[in-house]
Amino acid sequence: MKNEAAYLVEKQKLEIISCDMPPMGETDVLIKVCHVGICGSDMHIFEDPYYAVKDIKLPVILGHECAGEVVEVGSQVENIKPGDFVALEPGVPCGTCEYCMSGRYNLCPQVHFLGARPWINGAFSRYVSHPARFAFKLPQGMDTIEGALLEPLAVGMHAVERAVPRPGNHVLILGAGCIGLMTLSACLARGIQNVTIADLYENRLEMAKTVGAQGTIYSSKEDLINRGMELTQGKGYDVIFETAGSQKTAALSADLVKRGGKIVMVGNIFGETPFNFFKTNSKEVDILGVFRYRNLYPAAIELCSSGRIRTKEIVTNYFDFPKIQDAMEYAITQKQKAVKTVIRM
Ligand SMILES: [Zn+2]
Ligand SMILES: [Zn+2]
C-alpha cells in the first residue's frame, strides 16, 4: 500500500506528497479514505494558517470529515473487519480526565482530533489509522458520502441538544451554510417544525426550503430584525442558533431572541464581538456555547440510514483528490454557490 496526502505547505497552497503509511496500534483500524468533506475550519486554516492557529507549524494535513473502507485492523479489534465501511469520529479524547469521566469528552483537553491541534495528520490522505472505538460501521445502504457528512451533522445535533427546543417553539437559524442546514435537519428530526433560517444568499435559502425550513429571511434584502419580529408576532424566537460565525448576526441575536429564550453560539466567531448583554439580561436569556459534539455518531447514523435526515442534499460539488487545491479555492471564493464541497479520494 502506498500513501499520499495533501499537505498544506504554505498559506493557500496544498501539495499532494507521497508519505509513509500511518502507524497502526493494536486497537486501531486502518482505513482507505473514500470521501472527505471540506469544513469551514479547513478553509480558515488554508486561507491564513498563522491567523487561524497561532502556534501552527507547516506543513500539516487537514481534513476531519471522513469515511472509508477498512483495510486492516489491529490485533485487539473485534467488532470491525477489513471490508467494512466506517465513518471516523475525528476527536479521540483521553478517556480518563474529569471531562471524559463526566461524559463531556468533547471538552477533553488532551483530545487528538484529525487535522487539528495538537496536529495529528488529517484525512486529506489516502490512508488514515484511527482507534476502532471511534470508527462507526455504516449500515447497508449508507454510503461514505453520508458517512463523511456525519461529522457536521453531529455538530448540528449537538447544538440542538444544548438548547432542547420544544415542539411549538419558534426557532431561528442564522446562516444557511452546511452547519446551519445540519442544525435545521436536527431540529426537524426532533419534531421541531417551526424553523426560520436567515442567510445573505438566495440559493442557500432555496436549499433550506428543500431541507424543510418553514420560513426564510433573505437578509441581504430584508431587515433581519423587522422580518424576524413580524414572523413571531413581535415576540422574538424561543431559540436562536448562530451558525454564520458572524459578529453582526451574533449581536443581532440579542434583539431577535424572545423573553426567556436561548441563544446558541454554534459558529466560530474570531476576534471580539460587541454584544449588548443588558438586552439579554433584561429578557433573562440563556446563552449556550457549542464545541464539536459528543456521543452522537450512533444516533446520527440511525437518522441518516432511516432516511429521516438526508445530508447528501446539501453537497453542491465534488472534486477528485488530485484537484484538492481547486476544491479549496472554489469552496472559499464561491461561498454562495458552494454550500458543501466533498473530496472523492
Ligand atoms: Zn467539520
Ligand atoms: Zn479526557
How does residue 52 score in pLDDT terms, banded at 50, 70 and 90?
confident
How far apart (Å, rounded) are the C-alpha atoms in residues 249 and 254? 9
Ligand 1 centre and the CA of 212: distance in Å? 22
- Grid cell listed for 6: 495533501
How far apart (Å, rounded) are the C-alpha atoms in residues 90 and 92? 6
How far apart (Å, rounded) are the C-alpha atoms in residues 165 and 200? 25
Classify residue 166: in a domain, yes or no.
Answer: yes
First-to-last alpha carbon distance for the chain, in angstroms, is: 15
Which ligand has the minimum distance to the alpha carbon of residue 151?
1
Ligand 2 centre and the CA of 93: distance in Å? 5
pLDDT of residue 325: 98
Classify residue 305: in a domain, yes or no.
Answer: no
Which ligand has the minimum distance to the alpha carbon of residue 102?
2
| Secondary structure of residue 26 in the 3-state scheme | coil
Ligand 2 centre and the CA of 294: distance in Å? 12
Which ligand has the minimum distance to the alpha carbon of residue 44?
1
Ligand 2 centre and the CA of 112: distance in Å? 10
pLDDT of residue 130: 98
How does residue 335 score in pLDDT terms, banded at 50, 70 and 90?
confident
Which ligand has the minimum distance to the alpha carbon of residue 154?
1
Q: Which tens digit of pLDDT belongs to each residue from 250-306?
A: 999 999 999 999 999 999 998 899 999 999 999 999 999 999 999 999 999 999 999
What integer is the mean pLDDT of 117-131? 93
Ligand 2 centre and the CA of 288: distance in Å? 22
pLDDT of residue 119: 81
pLDDT at residue 336 greater than cutoff 90: no
Residues 162, 122 within the same domain: no
Ligand 1 centre and the CA of 278: distance in Å? 33
What CATH number corresponds to the domain at position 10?
3.90.180.10
Classify residue 294: in a domain, yes or no.
Answer: no
Classify residue 308: in a domain, yes or no.
Answer: no
- Grid cell listed for 12: 493557500
How far apart (Å, rounded) are the C-alpha atoms in residues 71 and 29? 8
Residues 17, 122 within the same domain: yes
Cα dihedral 197, 201, 204, 205 sign? positive
Count of domains for the chain: 2
What integer is the mean pLDDT of 27-53? 94
What CATH number corresponds to the domain at position 234?
3.40.50.720
How does residue 1 score in pLDDT terms, banded at 50, 70 and 90?
confident
What integer is the mean pLDDT of 308-321? 96
- Range 269-275 contact pairs with CB under 8 angstroms and sequence separation of 24 or more: 269/242, 269/245, 270/51, 270/245, 271/247, 273/247, 274/247, 275/250, 275/251
Ligand 1 centre and the CA of 69: distance in Å? 20
Residues 76, 163 within the same domain: no
Which ligand has the minimum distance to the alpha carbon of residue 42?
1
Provide the percentage of residues in the chain whose pLDDT is more than 90: 94
How far apart (Å, rounded) are the C-alpha atoms in residues 304 and 300? 6
Residues 25, 122 within the same domain: yes
pLDDT at residue 55 greater than cutoff 90: no
Which ligand has the minimum distance to the alpha carbon of residue 103?
2
Residues 50, 125 within the same domain: yes
- Between helices 150-163 and 297-305, what is the axis angle to 10°? 110
Boundaries of domain holding 12: 3-149+315-344
Ligand 2 centre and the CA of 118: distance in Å? 14
Classify residue 27: in a domain, yes or no.
Answer: yes
Which ligand has the minimum distance to the alpha carbon of residue 150?
1
Residues 130, 236 within the same domain: no
Strands 28-37 and 65-73: antiparallel
Residues 106, 159 within the same domain: no
- Grid cell listed for 107: 471538552
Residues 210, 321 within the same domain: no
Residues 122, 158 within the same domain: no
Ligand 2 centre and the CA of 293: distance in Å? 14
Nearest to 122 by CA among 53, 60, 73: 60
pLDDT of residue 169: 97
Nearest to 269 by CA among 252, 292, 247: 247
pLDDT at residue 240 greater than cutoff 90: yes
What integer is the mean pLDDT of 51-73? 94
pLDDT at residue 211 greater than cutoff 90: yes
pLDDT of residue 250: 96
Classify residue 302: in a domain, yes or no.
Answer: no
Ligand 1 centre and the CA of 223: distance in Å? 30
pLDDT of residue 270: 86
Residues 162, 246 within the same domain: yes
Ligand 2 centre and the CA of 134: distance in Å? 14
Classify residue 303: in a domain, yes or no.
Answer: no
What integer is the mean pLDDT of 230-248? 97
Ligand 1 centre and the CA of 154: distance in Å? 9
pLDDT at residue 117 greater than cutoff 90: no
Residue after which a domain boundary falls, among 289, 307, 330: 289
What integer is the mean pLDDT of 104-125? 94
Residues 168, 127 within the same domain: no
Residues 187, 112 within the same domain: no
How far apart (Å, rounded) are the C-alpha atoms in residues 54 and 202? 35
Ligand 2 centre and the CA of 127: distance in Å? 26
Nearest to 268 by CA among 233, 301, 240, 244: 244
pLDDT of residue 53: 85
Classify residue 236: in a domain, yes or no.
Answer: yes
Which ligand has the minimum distance to the alpha carbon of residue 149?
1
